Structure 1
Amino acid sequence: MRGRGVKRLPIISSLIVALAVGAMIYLGFWQLDRLDQKEALLETYAANFDKPPMAFPQLGPVADEAMFRKSSINCLRITDWQDSSGKASNGQSGFRYIANCVTSAEGPGVLVNMGVSNRPNLEIDWQGGVLTGWITEAPGESSLLDRLMGKDTAPGPMLVADKPMASLLAPASPSIEDIPNNHLAYAVQWFLFAGIALIIFLIALRAKNSSGTK
């Protein structure tokens, strides 16, 4: 009478699955760590609203202690305008008009979100002056390929004006609610992926062992 052989785990496939599951679990805990960091950062941003005004930063990236702080600039002249999708303080969606302001004889210009309109390509006649508002980040310019290749450039600063031009609606004031914080959901997803991968492997292993005993 032939005895039953000892069932052995397939070494290579088991190793691959173990490495994959381990990597997923690691990513899940990494996202939980990022969650703690993001919540601390959001607390800093929320506290910045109540701090006194500060000088407008000339270069990016925008420091954590500067984000959402009140500031002001003296716009000597405007070199150009750009419009992109945006939202007004009343919740209306439209086109936000961003001015590139010259503030000194030298140095980079300052981007200012001057307001929102439901019409694109407006001809705006404004010659400059003192502007007050909140410090935020300028619209990102890095492509998806740059981000994937690790060449993402940190956005520079932008001022969101607290008073719009006469022909525009007031831009929506900055809010920490607009900053994505999906790290908990990402962590849960990675843990689920790890569990599903392990279950699929065990089911496949059981099916293979069952077919081998017939």
Structure 2
Amino acid sequence: MRRIPVLATIVVLAAVGLMVALGFWQLRRLHQKEALLAHYAAAKGNPVPVEWTSAGVGEDLLYRRARLECATTGARSSIAGRNASGQSGVAQTVQCMLPGGGSARVVLGWSLQPLVTPNWKGGAVTGIIAPGPRLVADPPLEGLEANAMPDPAELPNNHFSYAVQWFLFAGTALVIYGIALRRRM
């Protein structure tokens, strides 16, 4: 009968311990993400607009209604997006220079064609703060169609499945090591 290999056992147990710790870390992240999503849902329901200042906006203001004054416009671009009906197309964006400095990315509206060049030269914009951060104009500007409004419910919260995955990895490592030890004996 052979002895149990000490170094291999230590390595396997350390790896299993790490995987279990990662599983519990994912469970903690699950609760943090649930709290964040609840905060975003409450922010979405808050009708009082916040002012987008030259200092920008923090992540705590995501999904809030906001207003900004675009003094001048800069680079225009297009990004993949959906309209209010869910149809795929292109969200038309512009970089706004704010009074007093700073800038903000504004989604002017939606179209089927990329790089539609609206004549919009700036002014007051109201909308919803989306991740990025960017302001999704509501109502849309320059005759563009309305974009789908950002919704925190679309953010994934898959930390529970990640935790289960780590625990299964740990269990699998123990089973495989147990089989290897049994064959060795």
Which band: TM-score by shorter chain?
A: over 0.9
Question: 1:163 aligned to 2:139?
Answer: yes
Runs of 4+ in 1 over 4 A off after TM superposition: none
Q: 125, 129, 135: which one pairs with 2:129? A: 135
Instruction: Give RMSD over aligned pairs.
Output: 1.6
**Structure 1 portions without partners, runs of 5+:** 139-156, 210-214
User: Is the Cα contact below 8 Å between 1:75 and 1:129 reproduced in 2?
Assistant: yes
Question: 1:53 aligned to 2:75?
Answer: no
Percent identity (aligned): 42
**Structure 2 portions without partners, runs of 5+:** none
Instruction: Note the alpha carbon deviations across 1:158-198, whole angstroms, 9 max, x for none.
Output: 11111113442211111112212110110010001001111
TM-score (norm. length: structure 1): 0.80
CA–CA distance in 1 between the matches of 2:134 and 2:106?
6
The residue aligned with 1:43 is: 38
Closer/same/farther in 2, CA of residues 137 and 59 from structure 1, 3 Å limit: farther
User: Is the Cα contact below 8 Å between 1:56 and 1:72 reproduced in 2?
Assistant: yes
The residue aligned with 2:94 is: 99
Question: 1:184 aligned to 2:160?
Answer: yes
The residue aligned with 1:200 is: 176
CA–CA distance in 2 between the matches of 1:189 and 1:34?
14
Deviation for aligned residue 1:56? 1.4
Letter in 2 for 1:82: S
Q: 66, 75, 92: which one pairs with 2:70? A: 75
TM-score (norm. length: structure 2): 0.92
Larger radius of gyration: 1
User: Is the Cα contact below 8 Å between 2:24 and 2:163 reproduced in 1?
Assistant: yes
Of Structure 1 and Structure 2, the greater strand share is in 2
Deviation for aligned residue 1:85? 1.2
CA–CA distance in 2 between the matches of 1:46 and 1:168?
27
CA–CA distance in 2 between the matches of 1:74 and 1:188?
47
CA–CA distance in 2 between the matches of 1:46 and 1:115?
23
The residue aligned with 1:30 is: 25
Closer/same/farther in 2, CA of residues 61 and 127 from structure 1, 3 Å limit: closer
SS of the residue corresponding to residue 181 of structure 1 reads coil
CA–CA distance in 2 between the matches of 1:17 and 1:177?
39
